[in-house]
Amino acid sequence: GAVVSQHPSWVICKSGTSVKIECRSLDFQATTMFWYRQFPKQSLMLMATSNEGSKATYEQGVEKDKFLINHASLTLSTLTVTSAHPEDSSFYICSARSETSGTTDTQYFGPGTRLTVL
């Protein structure tokens, strides 16, 4: 149980284009989803916390107009990187908090999306 999928696994795009990444909880309902970014050899950096049906809460330094988050249902959250630039190239990982598992507040991670902006 507690499987999180992410699509696409990797994407290459031209500078200036927008990229949408989907995060789905497959076998549980996730009222809260998290979006992280990880640069090579660095730790996870929380970008935003997404609650179903409400606006996402962004961490300091993360541009909410550039990284659009939509948590439309209890099983789906999307991250859209608008007008992507090479410095946005990174590993984007979503996680979903399962409140029905035996472990309170465990976050289960999607497999990640590797974004390369040319």
Partner 1 sequence: GQNIDQPTEMTATEGAIVQINCTYQTSGFNGLFWYQQHAGEAPTFLSYNVLDGLEEKGRFSSFLSRSKGYSYLLLKELQMKDSASYLCAALDSNYQLIWGAGTKLIIKP
Enumerate binding residues for partner 1 (CB under 8 A). Answer: 6, 34, 42-44, 46, 49, 91, 93, 103-112, 114
CA distances from 47 to 2, 67, 69, 118 (A): 22, 9, 10, 22
**CB-based contact 109:38 (threshold 8 Å):** no
What are 31's two structure tokens? 């009222």
Which of residues 67 and 92 has its CB atom nearest to partner 1 in the complex?
A: 92
Which of residues 15 and 29 has its CB atom nearest to partner 1 in the complex?
A: 29
Supply the minimum distance, in Å, between the C-beta of residue 39 and partner 1.
12
Supply the minimum distance, in Å, between the C-beta of residue 117 and partner 1.
18
| Torsion angles phi and psi, residue 12, rounded to 5 | -120, 130
Supply the minimum distance, in Å, between the C-beta of residue 112 and partner 1.
4
Task: Tell me the β-bridge partners of 106.
Answer: 98
Which of residues 46 and 68 has its CB atom nearest to partner 1 in the complex?
A: 46
d(CA 5, CA 94): 9
Task: Tell me the β-bridge partners of 48.
Answer: 35, 58
Supply the minimum distance, in Å, between the C-beta of residue 104 and partner 1.
7
Which of residues 6 and 77 has its CB atom nearest to partner 1 in the complex?
A: 6
